[in-house]
Structure 1
Amino acid sequence: MIIDAHQHFWHYFPERDTWMTDEVLQKDYLPADLAPVLAANGVDGCVAVQADQSERETQFLLQLANENDFIKGVVGWVDLKSPRVAERLEYFSQFPLLKGFRHIVQGEPDKEFLLRNDFCRGIANLQQFKFTYDILIYPHQLPAAVAFAKKFPDQPFVLDHLAKPDFETGELKGWEQHIRALAELPNVWCKLSGMVTEADHQNWQQDDFTPFLDVALEAFGAGRLMFGSDWPVCLIAADYPPMKKIVTDYIARLSASEQAQIMGGSAAAFYQL
C-alpha cells in the first residue's frame, strides 16, 4: 500500500491564510481535488496535516476523514501550551482517525521554542493518549529539536520536510550534522516531503535533492523514512507526478521491502493507520 504521509486541505480565507502568497494556493483544496490525483499516481491513501493553528482545523480535517475513506489519518492542532491541554487531548482521544498533532514551529521567532517549559508540558501529555507529534522547523531550529526529542525518549516524533534544508545552494554541513544527531534517537522518524518548494521553483533538477536524500537514508534507514507530497503546497514548484518521481527514482536501487517501507509501510507503522 502506498501512503502519502503529508498533504493538506483547506477552504481559502485571505484574512487567515496570509502565508499563501502564491496564487496557486489561493483557492480551496478539498478531497474531491486530491482523490483523482492519488488514483492517477497509484497512491492508496493519505495523512491530512493541519495548515491552520486552531481546534476548528482539527475538527475540519476529522470531518473530511470521516467522509473520505482514502484519508487514513489526521495530524491536527491543539494548544500544547494551554494549562488545559490534558483535558483537550482526552477529548480528542475519542476520534480514532486523529493520529497526532503539529505546531508550526518554523513560524516562531524563538529558535528554541520547542524547549519552552509550557510547550514541553503539553508534549509530555501526548504519550498517554498515544498521539504522535510532527516537528515542523527550519534548519536553524535543529539543535533545539535534537535536545527536545531527547527530553521525550518514548514519544514518537516525525521530522517534516527534512527540516527544509537549502536545496538551492546545496549546503549540507550544518544541516547534516544535526540530522544525524536527530536520527540517532530511535523515537524520531523523517518525511521525504516538501522538497520542491525549498528548491528553485522553476529550475530544480532531481539531482539537487540526492545529497540530502543520501544523508537521510544513511541516517534514518528505510524503516524510519516516509514519502509525503506536501500537496497542494508542492504545486508551487511541481505537479504530483514529478514530485513523487524524485523519491521513487531515488529509492529504485533499494530492495522491494525497503521501497515499500518508504512508500507506505513506515507511515502506516508510525501513525498506526
Structure 2
Amino acid sequence: MSRTIDAHQHFWDPGRADYPWMAGDALAPIRRPFGPADLAPLLAENGLDASILVQTRSSLDETEEFLRIAQETPFVAGVVGWVDLTDPQLDATIDRLRRLPGGDRLVGIRHQVHDEADPAWIYRGDVRRGLERVFAHDLTYDLLVRTRELPAAIATVRAFPQAHFVLDHAAKPPIANGFDQNWADRIAELAACGNVWCKISGLATEAIWRDWNAERLSPYVAHVARCFGPDKLIFGSDWPVCLLAGHYGAIKQALEHCLTQLGSDIRNKAFGPNTIAAYRLPA
C-alpha cells in the first residue's frame, strides 16, 4: 500500500535566520521555531506517513540544514531545496549537496519566483540554463508563482517538455476576492502542457483567514482537478503557514473533503501516489 504523504511543509527558526517574507504583524503567530518534533504528532493524528520538506528562503545553508534534518527524520521523504539557478557552477553545487548526509533526499528545487520584480524572471536565459542543469540531475522544479507569473511559467514548462514541474498552491488564486477567470484560464493553459503536477495546498491562507470552509475552497479544487486530471493533483498542508487560517487537522479535512467530492480515486492518488511520481520517490 502506498505511503500517505503531506507534499508541502516547512521548518524554520526566526531566531537563527532571516525570513524576509515573514515581516508584519499579520504573520506574528507563525514567527517562532517549528521543527520535526512539532509536526510528527500532527502527521500521526491525521493518518499521514511522510512529508516533503520545502525551502523557505534563498539559502544554500538552509538546503544543507534540511538535508541533515531529512537524514535524521524518518518521515521526511524528500527535500525541495534552493540553489542559485544563475550559478555557473551549478552542477558542482548539486553534486556537493547530494554527497552530504541526507543528500539522497534532495528531490527538487524551488525559488520564490513570485517575489521577483520581473514577472518573467523564470524565463530569463540565465535562469533557464540553470533549470537545464537541475533537470539533468533528475530533480523536479517547484513553481512558486501567482497569476502574474503564470505566462512565463507556461513558456518555461513548454521549453522543458520532458522535465517534472510541480505547481505550488495552485498558483495562489485570490480566493478572498472571489473567483478570478484570468487565474482559471492560465491554470488550464499550464495544465495542458502535460508535465506539471499541481499541489492542492495553501488555499485556506488565500481565503479570508477566519471566514472560510471547504465549500469556499471547493470551486478552486474542482477547477484544477478538471485541468490537471486525477494523476496530477497532490495534497499539501503548507504547515505551518496554514496555521494562520486554521489548525493542521482542519486544513487536511477541508482539502480531503474537496477531493473526495470529486471521487475516491482522485482523493487516494492525491495523498501519495502522485507525489511519488512527481518527485520520483521510492514506491
Q: TM-score range by the shorter chain?
A: over 0.9
Q: Which residue of 2 aligns with 1:54?
A: 59
Partner letter of residue 231 of structure 2? G
Residues 234 and 271 in structure 2, CA contact (< 8 A), matched pair in contact too: yes
CA deviation profile, 1:124-143 (whole Å, cap 9, x unmatched): 11222111100001111111
**Alignment counterpart, residue 176 of structure 1, candidates 184, 188, 210:** 184
- 1:90 counterpart residue number: 95
Alignment of 1:168-207 (within 5 A): 168-207=176-215
Partner of 2:4: 2
What residue is the counterpart of 1:42 in the other structure? 47
Q: Match for 1:99 among 98, 102, 107?
A: 107
Corresponding letter in the other structure for 2:67: L
Distance 1:136 1:26 in 2: 21
Q: For the structure 1 residues 247 and 39, does the alpha-carbon distance in structure 2 shift closer, same or farther, using more than 3 Å as the test?
A: same
Taking the aligned partners of 1:104 and 1:13, their CA distance within structure 2 comes to 21
Q: Is the 8 A contact 1:168 1:208 kept in 2?
A: no
Aligned position for 2:275: 267
2:255 is the alignment partner of 1:247: yes
TM-score (norm 1): 0.96
Once the two structures are superposed, what CA deviation does each residue of 1:84-108 show, in whole Å capped at 9, x if it has no partner? 1122122234421000100010110
List gaps (5 residues or longer) in structure 1. none
The Cα offsets for residues 4-25 of structure 1, whole Å up to 9 and x where unpaired, read as: 0000001113871232231111
Query: In 2, Cα distance between the equivalents of 1:166 and 1:14?
Result: 32
Deviation at 1:222, TM superposition (A): 1.5
Say whether 1:140 aligns with 2:145: no
Write out per-residue CA displacement over residues 59-88 of structure 1, whole angstroms, 9 at most, x where no aligned residue. 111111111100000000010111111221
Deviation of the 1:254 alpha carbon: 4.3
Q: Give the TM-score of the pair, scaled to structure 2.
A: 0.93
1:160 to 2:168 alignment: yes
> How far apart, in 2, do the equivalents of 1:118 and 1:83 lie?
9
Contact 1:50 1:58 survives alignment (8 Å): yes
Counterpart amino acid of residue 137 in structure 1: V
Does structure 1 residue 18 correspond to structure 2 residue 20? yes
Structure 2's unaligned 5+ residue stretches are none
What CA distance in whole angstroms lies between the structure 2 residues aligned with 1:207 and 1:120? 39
Q: Distance in 2 between matches of 1:254 and 1:161?
A: 18
The sequence identity of aligned pairs, in percent, is 39
Q: Distance in 2 between matches of 1:13 and 1:257?
A: 43
Count of matched residue positions in the alignment of Structure 1 and Structure 2: 273
Post-superposition offset of 1:233? 0.4
Deviation beyond 6 Å, 4+ runs, structure 1: none
**What RMSD in Å do the two structures reach over aligned CA positions?**
1.3
SS in 2 for 1:252: helix
Hey, what's the Cα distance between the residues in 1 that align with 2:157 and 2:88? 22
Cα deviation for residue 231 of structure 1 reads 0.2
